[in-house]
Amino acid sequence: LAGEPPSFVYVPELGTAGSRVALSPDEAHYLARVCRARVGDVVRATDGRGAIARLRIASLDREASAEVESVERGARVRRARVWCGPPDGERADWLIEKLAELGVEIFQPLECERGKWTRAAERLERWRRLSIAALRQSHRRFLMEIREPLGIEAGLGELPRECSRSLASMGGRPPGGAGHSEGLWVGAIGPAGGFTHAESTSLEAARFVPMCLSDGRLRTETAALAWAAWWAAGGQ
Amino acid sequence: LAGEPPSFVYVPELGTAGSRVALSPDEAHYLARVCRARVGDVVRATDGRGAIARLRIASLDREASAEVESVERGARVRRARVWCGPPDGERADWLIEKLAELGVEIFQPLECERGKWTRAAERLERWRRLSIAALRQSHRRFLMEIREPLGIEAGLGELPRECSRSLASMGGRPPGGAGHSEGLWVGAIGPAGGFTHAESTSLEAARFVPMCLSDGRLRTETAALAWAAWWAAGGQ
Summarised one tens digit per residue, pLDDT across range B4-26 is 778 999 999 999 999 999 999 99
B218 shares contact with chain A (CB less than 8 Å): yes
Among the listed residues A217, A223, A235, A236, the one whose alpha carbon sits nearest the alpha carbon of residue A82: A223
Are B233 and A102 an interchain contact pair (Cβ–Cβ within 8 Å)?
A: no
B105–A contact, CB cutoff 8 A: no
Q: Which of residues 127-186 of B touch A (CB under 8 A)?
A: 137-140, 174-178
Contact residues, chain A, for B212 at CB < 8 Å: 236
Interval A30-54: pLDDT, tens: 999 999 999 999 999 999 999 999 9
Q: A222 vs B101: CB contact, 8 Å cut-off?
A: yes
- In B, minimum Cα distance to A232 occurs at B214
- The per-residue pLDDT for A6 is 81
pLDDT at A233: 86
Q: Find the range with the poorest average confidence among A62-76, A172-186, A189-203.
A: A172-186
E strand or H helix that includes residue A80: strand A78-84
Coil, helix or strand for A57? strand
Q: Which residues of B touch A138 (CB under 8 A)?
A: 214, 216-218
Is the pLDDT confidence value at A22 over 70? yes
A98 vs B225: CB contact, 8 Å cut-off?
A: yes
Q: Give the pLDDT band (50/70/90) at residue A236.
A: very low
Which chain A residues are Cβ-neighbours of B101 within 8 angstroms? Answer: 214, 216-219, 222
The pLDDT of residue B93 is above 70: yes
CB pairs under 8 A between A and B: 109
Residue of B nearest to A177 (CA): B177
Reference A128, options A155, A99, A154, A156; nearest CA is A99
Q: Considering only alpha carbons, which residue of chain A is nearest residue B91? A: A94
Across the interface, do B215 and A78 touch by the CB < 8 Å criterion?
Answer: yes
Chain A residues touching B215 at Cβ < 8 A: 78, 103, 232, 236
Which residues of A are less than 8 Å from B140 in CB distance?
Answer: 216
For A103, the closest of B98, B139, B215 (CB atoms) is B215
Average pLDDT over residues B107-125: 93
H or E stretch covering B227: helix B220-232
Stretch among A123-132, A142-151, B176-185, B225-234 having the lowest mean pLDDT: B176-185
Q: Does position B144 have pLDDT exceeding 70, yes or no?
A: yes
pLDDT for residue A10: 96
Nearest Cα neighbor of B79 from B59, B113, B102, B56 is B102
With CB atoms and an 8 Å threshold, state whether A214 touches B222.
no
Say whether pLDDT at A78 is over 90. Answer: no
Average pLDDT over chain A, rounded to an integer:
92
| Residue partners of A169: CB distance under 8 A and separation at least 6 | A200, A210, A211, A212
Residue A234 has pLDDT above 90, yes or no: no
Confidence of residue B181 (pLDDT cuts 50, 70, 90): low
CB contact under 8 A, A101 and B236: no
* Beta strands A209-211 and B164-173, pairing class: unpaired
Nearest chain B residue to A95, by CA:
B222
Q: What percentage of chain A exceeds 90 in pLDDT?
A: 82
Mean pLDDT of B57-73: 95
Q: Which of the two residues, A144 and B88, has the higher pLDDT score?
A: A144
